[in-house]
Structure 1
Amino acid sequence: MSGTYYRSNRVISKTNARNYLSQNVKIPAPVEYIASEAFQKKTKISSVCFPDTLKNIGARTFQGCSLLTEVDLPTQVETLGSNVFSQCNSLEKVTLSQSLSSIPKAAFQENRKLGCIIFPDNSQISRIRSEAFSQCTSLESLDLPPALTEIEARAFYKCKNLSSVNFPEGLKQIGKEAFYFCAIDHLKLPQSLEVLEESAFFKCKNLTHVCLPTGIRYIGKWVFHGCNRMKYLEIYHNPDFIGSWIINRACTIRCYKGSKVDDYCKEFDFNVEYL
């Protein structure tokens, strides 16, 4: 079999993508790879049927497909490129592949109608990269996968209707502004968590009471700043680092007398209650 035939048989490129373009795109087997930007801004596409042979989808491949309403990735899809389904204004539902190890940068950014993200039970996703679901303003709840260890910066930035998040035990790091200006009203963080970066929950205005797990060693500045309804932050241990102004002045920190956190409260003149 010639190399040319192999490529044309298994790869959809920007050049040959027109052969598959229609309102309802059907990608045939044995296609394994859809190249970067192959269907970018093809506004006539309303649905895509992927084959079980598919393994990789490149960067910006379906970016700006404004009529696409649903994405159902086959089991064997291993990698997605950055911005792969971003700015798809009609996209409402995404079912992810169990073979994915991470969700790339800005993969579903600015999909303002996206309200349903399904992680398979045996999902291998360990990292959600920066801005992956940024400004998905219809998203209301999340049940994150058990293999997840890191949520990068601005992953759910300004998901303003996101009120419920189920974090898995095993999660170690939540990045800068990861849940900036979300509607989370109850926060149960896993004991495995070690790092809360700067402004991770900045302006989550529905939060009222947070108890931090004792495994957290780094608390970035402004992590709960702008949470105007927050009355109590409980810290039962001595983190290695606590950044400036982690709460609003109206909030009270509950900690042990004489602890590092107690000293921090005195430095910033925060209200304190002793445990």
Structure 2
Amino acid sequence: MKQLLYIALLLFSGHSVLAASYTCHTEAGELQSHIPTSGESVTQLTVTGTLDARDFAYMGDSLTNLNLIDLEGCTIAAYESRDTYLGNQARFEAHTLPAHTFLGFQKLTMVKLPKGTQVIGEAAFAGCPALTTIVWGEQLRSIGDLAFSGCPALDTPLPATLRSIGEYSFAGCTAYTELNLESAPLKSIGANAFAGCTRLAAIALPASLQTIGDRCFAGCSALTAIALPAALQSLGEGCFAYCTSLSQVDMKRILLTSIPAYAFDHCTSLTSLHTPAMTEEIGEGAFYYCTSLLDCTLPTRLREIADYAFAGCSRMEHLSFLPEGLERIGRWPFYGMRQLYSATIPSTVTYIGDHAFDSCTRLAAVMAYPTEPPALGEEVFLNVQQADCALGAPDESIELYRNAPQWQEFDIRHFSNREEIADDHTLQVYFEHEILRVKASDPMRQIALYTLDGRVVHREEGETYEWAIDTRSYTGPIFVLSIQMQSGEYRHLKVGRNR
């Protein structure tokens, strides 16, 4: 119903009338008696005294050509009635601007609310295309659903007294360029509250914020950065979907256990991210088609990556960030990673879903650490040239991988296949004290060093014939070295140091 109301906002067509300005003092329910002429001629209205729901109903029905309303000197009184004229609403609260009061006022540009206003009702100013300025008063706590939806000219900063912002409340308010709520005692922002605010480039959220609704900032295509406060308990699905300029996301402080479905769908400028330490699940499509994403930091608590989670992340080259402890990988999560060269499967993974690596057409190396080959869904490696892709597996599990459906299609290697390395005169790998030297007769493109549990501890890129890696800060005596040659060929070997 709210979405329908947002889409089908009432439109009023004006008539050719003489402009009139009225100033009056009134008691509750008596405003109409102070305006003797036709309401259609009134363009500016200043009122002092007391108003109630009857007066706002009169303004909404009869003063539709208003362009300026000044109610700063008024008080909104409570009113009880079952009059059908007032929508069968039994009680209207004091200090509350009633729902739908100025809905669709085409000429309204400026409103000064009563200073004591605490609540703005549902759709109170929805569909007011000329509205630019609101003077909020001193006590505003809550803005209702759809309150200013479809007000593309509104750019008045929100008050620092707000505690809640309703669903669709500022949807389509395309004049806003920044949103500073840092000092407000705000606890909740509703679904779609700022959806489609295409010029909104900067948002400062308060430390008190606990809830952000579904698609709250979806389509804010100018937004470049967001920091989520530590108190946040609920983040809605699709919250930042299609925020195509979003390049920085600070989630490190929040305690969410799940990244919601499609939370960053099509955030095409996002290059890296650090998910919260408490995260146990990456939701469906959470980073769907984040086409600039290169790297992630995922916590050791992570147990599941849901369907489509990273699908379409077409610039990803190394899938080395999957943490030890991960158990289940859903369907299509890495689909279309067309630049993916290498992938590391942690030892704790037990299942990989349908089409997980479908169309990862440049995949050349997979390091699978599970001693028992993970169960696979349908066509997990569709469009991957498995025969040309090296699969490193634990020495004791080689035969298991060679006999497992789909796994057996790879070029399967031992992690510690020293015989192959010994015969390779084009590559020299040795320790010089704590410096790992890697020399090749052919140019190398990139190098990565992993611990035996699959964690990447060092990575470099650039065309060279020699690498020197300082390993003093890396714990453990044995590492797995992955080298990509300039030709695209991969070399994998296990290296050990003496201490």
Pairwise same-fold verdict (TM > 0.5) = yes
Alignment partners' CA distance in 2, 1:45 and 1:34: 16
Q: CA deviation at 1:5?
A: 4.1
- Alignment match, 1:226: 359
Displacement after TM superposition at 1:205 (Å): 2.1
Deviation of the 1:127 alpha carbon: 1.2
SS at match of 1:52: coil
CA-atom RMSD in angstroms: 2.4
Give 2:309's aligned residue.
Answer: 178
Question: Partner letter of residue 402 of structure 2?
Answer: D
Of 379, 390, 393, which residue of structure 2 is paired with 1:252?
390
Equivalent residue for 1:241, pick from 352, 375, 380 = 375
For structure 2, list consecutive stretches of 5 or more residues without a partner in the other structure.
Answer: 1-77, 79-92, 97-117, 120-139, 416-499
Distance, in Å, in 2 between the alignment partners of 1:266 and 1:14 is 52
Q: Give the 3 Å change call, closer, same or farther, for CA 25–262 of structure 1 in structure 2.
A: farther
When residues 235 and 38 of structure 1 are mapped into structure 2, their CA distance, relative to the original with a 3 A threshold, is: same
Q: Does 1:58 align with 2:58?
A: no
Deviation at 1:240, TM superposition (A): 5.5
- The farther-off stretch of 236-245 and 159-168 is 236-245
In 2: Cα distance, 1:225 partner to 1:231 partner:
14
1:94-113 aligned at under 5 Å gives the runs: 94-113=226-245
The DSSP-based 3-state class of the residue aligned with 2:403 is helix
Q: Does 1:93 align with 2:234?
A: no
Spell out structure 1 runs of 4+ moving beyond 6 A. none
Are positions 1:10 and 2:150 aligned together?
Answer: no
Q: Is the 8 A contact 1:42 1:65 kept in 2?
A: yes
Alignment deviations for residues 87-127 of structure 1 (CA, whole Å, 9 cap, x no partner)? 112111111111123432110111111111112x4321221
Contact 1:265 1:271 in 2 (8 A): no
Q: How does 1:96-245 map to 2 (within 5 A)?
A: 96-119=228-251, 121-182=252-313, 183-186=315-318, 187-237=320-370, 238=372, 241-245=375-379
Contact 2:246 2:270 in 1 (8 A): yes
| Alpha-carbon distance between aligned partners in 2 of 1:221 and 1:214, rounded to the nearest angstrom | 20
Please tell me the residue identity of whatever aligns with 1:184.
M
Normalization by structure 2: what TM-score?
A: 0.51
Distance in 1 separating the partners of 2:402 and 2:235: 39
- 8 Å CA contact 1:27–1:49 kept in 2: the answer is no
Number of equivalences = 271
Match of 1:38 in 2: 169
Structure 2 counterpart of 1:272: 412
User: 3-state DSSP class of the match of 2:399?
Assistant: coil
CA 1:67/1:214 → structure 2, altered by over 3 Å: closer, same or farther? same
Which whole-Å CA distance do the structure 1 matches of 2:333 and 2:398 have between them? 27
Q: Distance in 1 between matches of 2:227 and 2:278?
A: 17
Amino acid of the structure 2 residue aligned with 1:214: S
**C-alpha deviations, 1:44-92, integer Å up to 9, x for none?**
1111121431000000000001110012211111111101000112111
Structure 1 residue 266, shift from structure 2 partner: 6.3
Please report the TM-score for the alignment, with normalisation by the length of structure 1: 0.89
2:322 and 2:148 map into 1 onto residues whose CA distance is 44
Compare CA radii of gyration and give the structure with the larger one. Answer: 2
Higher relative contact order (CA 8 A, sep 6+): 1
3-state SS of 1:191 partner: coil
- The answer for the alignment partner of 2:157 in structure 1 is 25
In structure 1, what is the Cα distance between the partners aligned to 2:272 and 2:196? 24
Q: Cα–Cα, structure 1 residues 106 and 266, in superposed 2: closer, same or farther, change >3 Å? A: closer
Greater share of strand: 2
1:245 CA displacement: 2.8
8 Å Cα contact 2:238/2:262 also seen in 1: yes
The range that moved more, 166-175 or 5-14, is 5-14
- Tell me the equivalent position of 2:212: 80
Greater mean deviation of Cα atoms: 261-270 or 201-210:
261-270
Q: For 2:350 and 2:146, how far apart are their aligned partners in 1?
A: 51
- Shift, 1:252, TM fit: 3.3
Does the 8 Å contact 1:104/1:128 carry over to 2?
Answer: no
The answer to whether the 8 A contact 1:253-1:265 is kept is: no
